[in-house]
A and B are shown apart, each in its own frame.
Chain A
Amino acid sequence: DGGITQSPKYLFRKEGQNVTLSCEQNLNHDAMYWYRQDPGQGLRLIYYSQIVNDFQKGDIAEGYSVSREKKESFPLTVTSAQKNPTAFYLCASSIGQNIQYFGAGTRLSVL
Chain B
Amino acid sequence: AQSVAQPEDQVNVAEGNPLTVKCTYSVSGNPYLFWYVQYPNRGLQFLLKYITGDNLVKGSYGFEAEFNKSQTSFHLKKPSALVSDSALYFCAVRDNTGFQKLVFGTGTRLLVSP
Chain A residues with a Cβ under 8 A of chain B: 1, 4, 6, 33, 40-43, 45, 48, 50, 56, 58, 88, 90, 92, 97, 99-105, 107
**Which residue of A6, A48, A90 contacts B44 across the interface (Cβ within 8 Å)?**
A90
Q: A48-B101, A58-B101 are in contact. Are A40 and B43 (CB under 8 A)?
A: no
- A42-B104, A45-B101, A97-B99 given; name 17 further pairs at CB < 8 Å: A1-B45, A6-B43, A40-B106, A42-B90, A42-B107, A43-B44, A45-B102, A48-B99, A50-B99, A97-B100, A99-B34, A99-B46, A100-B44, A102-B45, A104-B41, A105-B41, A107-B41
Chain B residues with a Cβ under 8 A of chain A: 9, 34, 36, 41-46, 49, 90, 94, 99-102, 104-107
Chain A to chain B: the 7 pairs with minimum beta-carbon distance, closest first: A102-B43, A42-B106, A97-B100, A43-B104, A42-B104, A102-B44, A104-B43
Q: A48-B101, A97-B100 are in contact. Are A104 and B42 (CB under 8 A)?
A: yes
CA distance A42 to B104 in the complex (A): 6
CA distance A49 to B34 in the complex (A): 21
Set of chain B residues within 8 Å of A41, measured between Cβ atoms: 106
CB distance from A27 to the nearest CB of B (A): 13
CB distance from B69 to the nearest CB of A (A): 21
**Which residue of B43, B90, B105 contacts A103 across the interface (Cβ within 8 Å)?**
B43
Q: Whose C-beta in chain A lies nearest to the C-beta of B100?
A: A97
The answer to whether B94 and A42 touch across the interface, beta carbons within 8 angstroms, is no
Set of chain A residues within 8 Å of B41, measured between Cβ atoms: 88, 104-105, 107
Q: List 9 A-B contacts (CB under 8 A).
A: A1-B42, A40-B106, A43-B44, A45-B102, A50-B99, A99-B49, A104-B41, A105-B42, A107-B41
The answer to whether A101 and B46 touch across the interface, beta carbons within 8 angstroms, is yes
